[in-house]
């Protein structure tokens, strides 16, 4: 009797993930697409000085959107803007650079004033984020890092979304894209407890806001990414599962622009979808042991390098 119950539970779990894979791949292949400009004339990208944020800004610029790029380093922001202008898109979209450190809430009033000047805001990309330098136990974390993760990863997303949502609601169109993390969707992520929790909070926020916003033709998505070749990941070699930010940006925008059924949480890159589904098929007690062993070994190597 008990063995039959466990068999049934296992079959239901397998069906659940196979169904998720099928529906995700089906909608990726067959949904009709919009163009980024169908959401509006302006796109706002946070954390646009490096990595995914910079790649997203450049990709949206290529589609002819005006860009407000936000980052905490003025020099890097200017480099991103210059790189976009050198693409020589015609007619040339506008670019506005705004310096903002999301760990310092005193800058929100000025940022809000800049956003109010924009008409027809179409896309917001909440990309700015803070992570761990390497896997760490909870009690090893500096309080300053915990506060920074909360300020940037959570409060920053809430505040940016609040600033644009009213305009999108009036326009009855728009898209809000939050860059998530695979850690929030895995069975567990020990040694990344605060970071994973911050990303899970944003995922839950997107799930709820998508229900509220659907009546106003506003798309809200939390896109789950695994390893991308950025400074944060420290990965330099492209593989099937590790891709450059430029490719990730293309996949993200393509997924955001697909019509039909809207998923509030989705992996835009197909290989990352497979990673997530198969990782979550591993029984919890096995996964917990494996991930703890793996992340602890990465932590130990990082500490040795720190001492050396």
Catalytic positions are 195
Residues 102 and 105: their CA atoms lie apart, in Å, by 6
Q: CA 298, CA 219: separation in Å to the nearest integer?
A: 37
Residue 6 contacts by C-beta under 8 Å, 6 or more apart in sequence?
none
Six-digit token string for 30: 């067959």
Of 181, 136, 135, 134, nearest in space to 157 by CA: 181
3-state helix, strand, coil in the chain (%, to 5): 55, 15, 30
Cα–Cα distance measured from residue 122 to residue 216, given in angstroms and rounded to the nearest whole number = 13
SS (H, E, C) 157-210: HHHHHHHHHHHHHHHCCEEEEEECCHHHCCCCCCCCHHHHHHHHHHHHHHHHHH
Nearest-angstrom CA–CA distance, 8 and 3: 9
Residues whose CB falls within 8 Å of the CB of residue 285, separated by 6 or more in sequence, listed in order: none
> How far, in Å, CA of 198 to CA of 177, rounded?
16
63 touches 94 (CB < 8 A): no
- Label residues 67-80 b or e (16+ Cβ within 10 Å = b): bbbbbbeeebbeeb
Question: Cα–Cα distance between 83 and 86 in angstroms, integer?
Answer: 5
């Amino acid at each position: 009797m008990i063995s039959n119950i466990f068999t049934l539970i296992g079959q239901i779990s397998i069906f659940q993930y196979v169904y998720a894979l099928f529906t995700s791949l089906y909608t990726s292949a067959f949904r009709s697409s919009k163009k980024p400009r169908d959401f509006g004339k302006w796109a706002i990208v946070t954390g646009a000085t490096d990595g995914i944020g910079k790649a997203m800004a450049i990709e949206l610029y290529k589609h002819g959107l005006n860009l407000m790029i936000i980052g905490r380093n003025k020099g890097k922001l200017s480099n991103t803007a210059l790189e976009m202008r050198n693409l020589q898109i015609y007619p040339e979209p506008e670019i506005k650079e705004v310096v903002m450190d999301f760990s310092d809430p005193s800058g929100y009033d000025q940022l809000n004033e800049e956003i109010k000047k924009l008409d027809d805001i179409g896309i917001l990309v909440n990309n700015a984020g803070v992570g761990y330098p390497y896997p760490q136990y909870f009690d090893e974390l500096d309080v300053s890092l915990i506060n920074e993760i909360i300020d940037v990863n959570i409060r920053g997303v809430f505040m940016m979304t609040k600033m644009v949502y009213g305009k999108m609601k009036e326009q009855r169109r728009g898209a809000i894209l939050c860059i998530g993390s695979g850690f929030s969707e895995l069975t567990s992520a020990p040694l990344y407890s605060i970071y994973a929790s911050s990303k899970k909070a944003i995922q839950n926020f997107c799930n709820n806001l998508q229900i509220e916003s659907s009546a106003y033709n506003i798309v809200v998505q939390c896109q789950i990414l695994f390893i991308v070749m950025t400074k944060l990941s420290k990965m330099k070699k492209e593989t099937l599962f590790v891709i450059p930010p430029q490719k990730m940006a293309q996949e993200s925008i393509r997924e955001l622009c697909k019509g039909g059924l809207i998923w509030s949480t989705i992996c835009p890159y197909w290989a990352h979808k497979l990673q997530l589904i198969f990782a979550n098929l591993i029984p919890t007690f096995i996964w917990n042991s494996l991930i703890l062993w793996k992340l602890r070994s990465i932590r130990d190597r990082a500490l040795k390098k720190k001492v050396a």
